[in-house]
A and B are shown apart, each in its own frame.
Chain A
Amino acid sequence: MAASKASKSKRPNRPGADAGRIYASLRRIRRVEEEIARIYPTDKIKSPVHLSIGQEGIAVGVCDALEPRDAVSGTYRGHATYLAKGGSLPGMMAELFGKDTGCARGKGGSMHLIDMKANVLGTSAVVGTTVPVAVGFAMAQKMRKTGAVVACFMGDGATEEGCFPESLNFAALHKLPVIFVCENNGFAIHEPIAKRQATDKLCQRVATYGIPAKRFVDSDTRAIRTHIAGALPKMRKGGGPIFIECMTWRWREHVGPGDDYDAGFRSRSTLVRWQKKDPVEIAAKALAKAARAEIDAAIEAEIAAAIKFAEESPFPPVEELFTDVFA
């Protein structure tokens, strides 16, 4: 599932040879999170999980355009970005189970996934804090002339933190290779965006920094992928940051395996509308039945193996508490 070369298609928004790869990435993330939700009531995962079910198209659209040398910076709702960029699935599962073999050795949990081998930067549970960190990582790419870019994911709520505009300004000022990706699901926990932001003109706000900004109203995976792939060559040559705002919908509750429609603050009918744009289903339609079945079977086997790995791995020994406080 590692990120692939950016391939140019003549009909960029139509499925091409990459249809199988994109479907597989989407379907794999969806199934991993469904499995997490299934396991959760057993209490084997003692870590607050923020599922991205419904939002996967953004992570996959962006990450599919990236190269392995590029980095992603996600959030505590980070399973999708981690997996889409090629983070280790067994490492993630074991981390959720609190095991020694976890990607953070049981010291991070679901909110702090990391896989530096795959250039997945660590995620934070303090909203917005990773945005400037991603900018700094990008600045180092410029200083070291690696040509790599950093895709920095954040929620709509994160854009309200002071460090967001501060980071935009700095990235634009120094023409840093950052793809700012706002996953706008309209809510921060249970608070709708209209109670938090004076206007919904986020892209205009960002554009005033001289950063090209584009909104994707239904976050079509392919449209996002095409846009990112098109922007990358210039960015790699010092063209500076870009910004995308991807409108989306969190199908499940803010944290935990269930949903929150009974609480009355958002409607199930909106969910139904978004489910008609389910990125996994859309990607599936581009494939023949047999091809899908083959991919699905491989995914189920991979997930089952990852869960088994997590279950069978040992917990960290108690001495591990004191390691890595300092480098």
Chain B
Amino acid sequence: MSSPKLAWPGRPEDGRRVLRYVDALSESVALEMERDRSVFLFGLDVDDHKAIQGSTRGLLEKFGPDRVFTTPLSEDAMTGVAIGAAMAGMRPIHVHIRMDFLMLCMNQLVNIAAKARYMYGGQVKVPLVVRTIIGKSWGQGAQHSQGLHSMFMHVPGLKVCAPSNAHDAKGALAAAIRDDNPVVFVEHRLLYATEAFVAEGAYLVPPGRSRVCRWGRDVTVVGISNMVVEALRAAELLKEVGVSAEVIDPIWLAPLDSETIVESVRRTRKLLIVDNGWNMCGAGAEIAARVAEACAGEGPVSIRRIGFAPTPCPPSPILENAFYPNPATIAAEAFALARPDAAPWAPDPSSAKLAYQMQFKGPF
């Protein structure tokens, strides 16, 4: 059984237009709002001049304050309000500038949104999108930096999406808006300025389909959210030592297309998962378990995970750097997997530094 491979729809006839992630988000919402009167967008600060770091830019002007509006600082109740509106046939997009604030929405999302369809015997549906951004850098600190996607992956009834590039951001957000279920849509602050080829019209990057971003022979590297970009940088570094890394982006974490990952691991026999969150009970744990289950009895598979240090995120620069996986640490882990008998290797610091300036414009 071969899983569907996602092709890049950025064909030359699309003009190969390059767009930033942040602009792809607002463009996608604008297209969906034009298409469907029941879509509206609300959340703290969506209508101010900073427009959620630019990601809601232009929407108020285009669609007016009835469909684009701010809220009180009442995330818990506002989530319930969104759920109620969704049950009544609207398609709310509820925006949070930091993923950390979703902890205030947890009760409504887990106890109502996720379960309403099921526990009410199919009488209602909750087509809700919760847009949220993982913060990073500049001393964001413990409460403005968390990647909590795995908490939502855990819960049946919730879908979770974490696109890593502008193309997928646009298509997946459209798919999330058209989905009849609650979707937690995870963005990353450092992705906002990154560019990719993005077609002008609407298109969908549907749930449950992973993307192979880069083909490789020696090791499969799965990146999540911003860690896809870091993994691609690591893959460049690995070329120096002749290690060929395959990089896979699940895009949607729930439902998760582990088939594409399993297929890759069947060839490489090595799997490194790079998460934008903690390893303990994280997305990487789920992916590792699925691969181990699928490949059981087929011969040895080596698996490693790398994610946030098992600590809160500190703001002091030296500690903050040590908290996150980076291209050098990812490359070193991947090398250890790919060449278990070789002496440990890490890229030299100057090329690791250069790796940070590497920009990737999908299709990879």
Contact: A318 with B322, CB < 8 Å? yes
Closest to A325 in B: B311
Q: How does the 8 Å CB contact mask read for B307-328 relative to A, with 1 for contact and 0 for none?
A: 0011110111111001100000
Residues of chain B from 99 to 114 with CB closer than 8 A to chain A in the complex: 100-101, 103-104
User: How far is A320 from B71 in the complex, measured between Cα atoms in Å?
Assistant: 40
The count of chain B contact residues (Cβ–Cβ below 8 Å) is: 36
Q: Chain B residues with Cβ under 8 A from A128's Cβ?
A: 73
Closest to A109 in B: B315
A311 to chain B, nearest CB (A): 14
Q: Chain B residues with Cβ under 8 A from A99's Cβ?
A: 316
Whether a CB of chain B sits under 8 angstroms from the CB of A112 is yes
User: How far is A278 from B144 in the complex, measured between Cα atoms in Å?
Assistant: 33
Known: A107-B314, A196-B70. A162 touches B76 (CB 8 A): yes
Whether a CB of chain A sits under 8 angstroms from the CB of B44 is yes
Contact: B143 with A125, CB < 8 Å? yes
Q: Chain B residues with Cβ under 8 A from A47's Cβ?
A: 138-139, 141, 315
Contact: B319 with A197, CB < 8 Å? no
Q: Chain A residues with Cβ under 8 A from B311's Cβ?
A: 321-322, 325
Whether a CB of chain A sits under 8 angstroms from the CB of B249 is no
At the interface with chain A, which of B45-53, B152-160, B251-259, B292-300?
B45-53
B34 to chain A, nearest CB (A): 25
Whether a CB of chain A sits under 8 angstroms from the CB of B3 is no
Whether a CB of chain A sits under 8 angstroms from the CB of B340 is no
Whether a CB of chain A sits under 8 angstroms from the CB of B142 is yes
User: How far is A161 from B73 in the complex, measured between Cα atoms in Å?
Assistant: 6
Whether a CB of chain B sits under 8 angstroms from the CB of A18 is no
A10 to chain B, nearest CB (A): 42
Q: Chain B residues with Cβ under 8 A from A189's Cβ?
A: 44-45, 48
Contact: A98 with B139, CB < 8 Å? yes
**Which of B73, B75, B76, B140 gathers most chain A CB within 10 Å?**
B73
A317 to chain B, nearest CB (A): 8
Residues of chain A from 1 to 58 with CB closer than 8 A to chain B in the complex: 46-48
Q: How does the 8 Å CB contact mask read for A99-133 relative to B, with 1 for contact and 0 for none?
A: 10010001111111000000000001111100000
Q: How does the 8 Å CB contact mask read for B167-199 relative to A, with 1 for contact and 0 for none?
A: 000000000000000000000000000000000
Whether a CB of chain A sits under 8 angstroms from the CB of B242 is no
Q: Give the residue of A125, A191, A195, A322 whose beta carbon is less than 8 angstroms from that of B309.
A: A322
Residues of chain A from 181 to 233 with CB closer than 8 A to chain B in the complex: 188-191, 195-197
Contact: B48 with A191, CB < 8 Å? yes
B216 to chain A, nearest CB (A): 31
A297 to chain B, nearest CB (A): 32
B44 to chain A, nearest CB (A): 7
Question: For this complex, into which size category does the number of interface residues on chain A fall?
Answer: 35 or more
User: How far is A200 from B149 in the complex, measured between Cα atoms in Å?
Assistant: 38
Q: Chain B residues with Cβ under 8 A from A317's Cβ?
A: 318
Whether a CB of chain B sits under 8 angstroms from the CB of A240 is no
Contact: A126 with B100, CB < 8 Å? yes
Contact: A158 with B318, CB < 8 Å? no
Contact: B49 with A265, CB < 8 Å? yes
User: How far is A98 from B141 in the complex, measured between Cα atoms in Å?
Assistant: 11
B245 to chain A, nearest CB (A): 27
Known: A106-B315, A188-B44. A125 touches B141 (CB 8 A): yes
Q: Chain A residues with Cβ under 8 A from B317's Cβ?
A: 46, 98, 315
Contact: B316 with A107, CB < 8 Å? yes
Residues of chain B from 76 to 117 with CB closer than 8 A to chain A in the complex: 76-77, 100-101, 103-104
Q: Give the residue of A109, A162, A195 whose beta carbon is less than 8 angstroms from that of B141.
A: A109
Closest to A262 in B: B49
Known: A47-B141, A196-B73, A321-B309. A190 touches B319 (CB 8 A): no
Closest to B74 in A: A160
Whether a CB of chain A sits under 8 angstroms from the CB of B122 is no
User: How far is A160 from B72 in the complex, measured between Cα atoms in Å?
Assistant: 6
User: How far is A140 from B138 in the complex, measured between Cα atoms in Å?
Assistant: 36
Q: Chain A residues with Cβ under 8 A from B73's Cβ?
A: 127-128, 157-158, 160-161, 188, 196
User: How far is A188 from B48 in the complex, measured between Cα atoms in Å?
Assistant: 11
Known: A188-B44, A315-B317, A316-B316. A325 touches B143 (CB 8 A): no
Q: Chain A residues with Cβ under 8 A from B76's Cβ?
A: 161-162
Q: Chain A residues with Cβ under 8 A from B314's Cβ?
A: 106-107, 316, 320-321
User: How far is A106 from B323 in the complex, measured between Cα atoms in Å?
Assistant: 13
**Which of B72, B77, B103 gathers most chain A CB within 10 Å?**
B72
Q: Give the residue of A46, A188, A263, A325 whose beta carbon is less than 8 angstroms from that of B315.
A: A46
Contact: B319 with A318, CB < 8 Å? yes
Known: A160-B73, A162-B77, A325-B311. A112 touches B318 (CB 8 A): no
Q: Chain B residues with Cβ under 8 A from A315's Cβ?
A: 316-318
Contact: B323 with A321, CB < 8 Å? yes
A168 to chain B, nearest CB (A): 15
Known: A318-B318, A320-B319. A195 touches B310 (CB 8 A): no
Q: Chain A residues with Cβ under 8 A from B310's Cβ?
A: 322, 325
Between A and B, 14 residue pairs with Cβ closer than 8 Å are: A46-B139, A46-B315, A46-B317, A108-B315, A110-B139, A111-B141, A112-B143, A125-B141, A125-B144, A126-B100, A128-B73, A316-B318, A322-B310, A325-B312
Additional 17 contacts, C-beta under 8 A, given A108-B142, A189-B48: A46-B315, A106-B315, A110-B139, A112-B141, A112-B143, A125-B143, A125-B144, A158-B73, A161-B74, A161-B75, A161-B104, A162-B76, A188-B44, A189-B45, A317-B318, A320-B314, A322-B309
Chain B residues near A (Cβ < 8 Å) = 44-45, 48-50, 70-77, 100-101, 103-104, 138-144, 309-312, 314-319, 322-323
Which 10 residue pairs spanning A and B have beta carbons closest together?
Answer: A106-B316, A98-B316, A109-B315, A47-B139, A160-B72, A190-B48, A160-B73, A125-B143, A107-B314, A196-B72
